[in-house]
């Protein structure tokens, strides 16, 4: 499970790279700031984050060197899910959770069916092309099941949102908690839509009746904003504190970790977009994300009982904070409260990360397992074509099937992830015709074969399946 979560964490970094720049450009080019309409196209990244996640996970979890087909498989999976739900009920949107499910299924389908051989008349659809057909067939019933199940979740959240206003500070806490907690499932939009644009009513000086926390606050309602205030604490202080904790706790790749955390923090503060940081631990450490959700709710409840009221037009960024400070009640106190939550966030995340084996960026050692020496090895060639016999002997001399966790090949090498590399018999493997055996660490090893490695891996896979 830990190895799986580590790979999932690496996979999530693929779409995360696109988020900071897109978020900043989208915010500063909005109508209430620079009003650069063309730059608003950067918002497409967030409108399609489910697609990016599906592609990233499919690429990251697929057992192959060339990630093109897995990426296509992931795109097909999420496309069918989105289109199918739109056909059945246009109001359904599984958002990030849909991307997660689609990516996982795409990776599983690719790994399961990439070596399937069909009769010659259908040979074009064999091998790596076969998962493309299978993912289409699989996603249709998955979409049907999602259509039957998801409306109940959305209806429950909608009912809850309408009940929160009667609970006072507790309602503010629940709203903040659920806003973060429901994000992976895409259901936070249901909650937000009602809170932002449906909760309560206020009659403006011009006689117009407006609804929702956002609209009422901007129109001067002195009772609006309590359901919004806590996000300034969570976004401007909490998320940067998480980023700092991850950076300070980093054991490996410290420079890359600092760069990603730094840009993610800047994006949160300036643009109010938190996904670049949250997605680094959302799926790989659910407990930390749960704590983040609790602290978001706690921040809102704290401001509520301190009678601190602030609102926004777009999100809880420093831009909205400054622009709307004149409409707030004691809005300046968000700063000292935010500093307190910054410390709370940092201490919690930092000590949890350094005391637990949390598979997030900075905690995952990047070994040289992915390095190749294809320039030196491209001219290597086996002295025989007995791939089946060779694969059988290699399997016997790496500790048998029971010692194998995962395997794949690059251009010239068979890459192995084993439970214990000390079980490898180098001399016996070299006698099969291999050109070298490289033991990276106690779990990873490589056997240098040459360009014929692709043929060997097919036989090796059969040996794994048949023994």
Task: Please report the pLDDT score of residue 375 as a whole number.
Answer: 56
Buried b / exposed e along 172-191 (16+ C-beta atoms within 10 A): bbbbbbbbbbbbbbbbbbbb
Per-residue pLDDT tens over the stretch 146-166: 999 988 887 887 788 778 878
Helix (H) or strand (E) holding 415: strand 413-418
Query: Which pLDDT does position 366 carry in this prediction?
Result: 52
List, for residues 397-406, the tens digit of each pLDDT value. Answer: 998 888 888 8
Query: Mean pLDDT of residues grouped by 10 in the chain (467 residues)?
Result: 65 72 76 82 80 88 80 94 91 81 93 80 76 92 93 83 84 93 78 81 83 86 92 96 95 86 91 87 89 97 96 85 90 96 97 88 61 58 84 90 82 84 90 86 85 86 80
**Confidence at residue 367, expressed as pLDDT on a 0 to 100 scale:** 47
Q: What is the pLDDT of residue 378?
A: 63
User: Which residue among 132, 138, 333, 410 is the active-site one?
Assistant: 410
Cβ atoms of 313 and 324 within 8 Å: the answer is yes
Superfamily of domain 370-466: Glucose permease domain IIB (3.30.1360.60)
The predicted structure's pLDDT at residue 369: 43
Summarize pLDDT for 241-299 with one digit per residue, the tens: 999 999 999 988 788 889 889 989 998 998 888 888 998 888 888 999 999 999 999 99
d(CA 196, CA 191): 8
Give catalytic status of residue 410 as yes or no. Answer: yes
Domain positions in the chain = 168-366, 370-466
Residues above pLDDT 70, as percent of the chain: 93
Three-state SS letters, 215-232: HHHHCCCCCCCCCCCHHH
- The pLDDT score that the predictor gives to residue 139 is 94
Q: How far apart are CA 269 and CA 61, in angstroms?
A: 32
CB 456 within 8 A of CB 408: no
Q: What pTM does this model have?
A: 0.67
pLDDT digits (tens, 9 = 90+) for 67-78: 788 999 999 999
Place of tokens 């990244």: 45
């Amino acid at each position: 499970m830990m190895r799986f979560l580590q790979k999932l964490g690496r996979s999530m970094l693929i779409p995360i790279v696109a988020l900071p720049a897109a978020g900043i450009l989208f915010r500063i080019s909005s109508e209430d700031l620079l009003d650069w309409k063309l730059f608003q196209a950067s918002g497409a990244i967030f409108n399609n984050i489910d697609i990016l996640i599906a592609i990233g996970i499919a690429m990251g979890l697929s057992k192959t060197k060339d990630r093109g087909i897995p990426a296509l498989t992931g795109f097909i999976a999420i496309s069918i899910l989105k289109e199918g739900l739109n056909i059945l009920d246009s109001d359904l949107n599984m958002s990030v959770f849909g991307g997660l499910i689609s990516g996982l299924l795409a990776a599983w389908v690719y790994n399961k069916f990439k070596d399937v051989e069909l009769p010659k008349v259908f040979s074009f659809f064999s091998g790596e092309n076969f998962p493309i057909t299978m993912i289409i067939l699989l996603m249709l019933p998955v979409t049907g099941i999602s259509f039957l199940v998801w409306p109940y979740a959305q209806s429950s959240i909608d009912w809850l949102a309408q009940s929160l206003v009667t609970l006072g500070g507790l309602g503010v806490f629940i709203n903040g908690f659920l806003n973060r907690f429901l994000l992976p499932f895409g259901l936070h939009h249901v909650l937000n839509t009602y809170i932002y644009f449906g909760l309560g009513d206020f009659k403006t000086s011009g006689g117009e009746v407006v609804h929702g926390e956002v609209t009422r606050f901007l129109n001067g309602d002195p009772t609006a904003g309590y359901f919004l205030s806590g996000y300034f604490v969570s976004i401007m202080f909490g998320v940067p504190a998480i980023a700092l904790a991850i950076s300070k706790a980093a054991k490996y790749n410290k420079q890359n970790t600092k760069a990603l955390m730094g840009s993610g923090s800047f994006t949160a503060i300036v643009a109010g977009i938190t996904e670049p940081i949250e997605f680094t631990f959302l799926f790989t450490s659910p407990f930390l994300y749960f704590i983040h959700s609790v602290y978001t709710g706690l921040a809102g409840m704290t401001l509520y009982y301190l009678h601190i009221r602030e609102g926004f037009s777009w999100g809880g960024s420093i831009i909205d904070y400054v622009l709307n400070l004149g409409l707030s009640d004691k809005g300046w106190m968000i700063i000292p409260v935010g500093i307190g939550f910054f410390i709370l966030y940092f201490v919690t995340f930092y000590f949890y990360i350094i005391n637990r084996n949390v598979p997030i960026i900075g905690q995952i050692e990047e070994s040289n397992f992915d390095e190749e020496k294809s320039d030196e090895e491209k001219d290597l060639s086996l002295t025989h074509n007995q791939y089946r016999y060779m694969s059988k002997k290699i399997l016997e001399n790496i500790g048998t099937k029971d010692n194998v966790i995962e395997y794949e090949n690059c251009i010239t090498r068979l890459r192995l992830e084993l439970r214990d590399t000390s079980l490898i018999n180098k001399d016996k493997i070299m006698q099969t015709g291999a050109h070298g055996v490289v033991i990276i660490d106690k779990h990873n090893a490589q056997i240098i074969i040459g360009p014929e490695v692709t043929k060997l891996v097919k036989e090796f896979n059969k040996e794994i399946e048949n023994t």
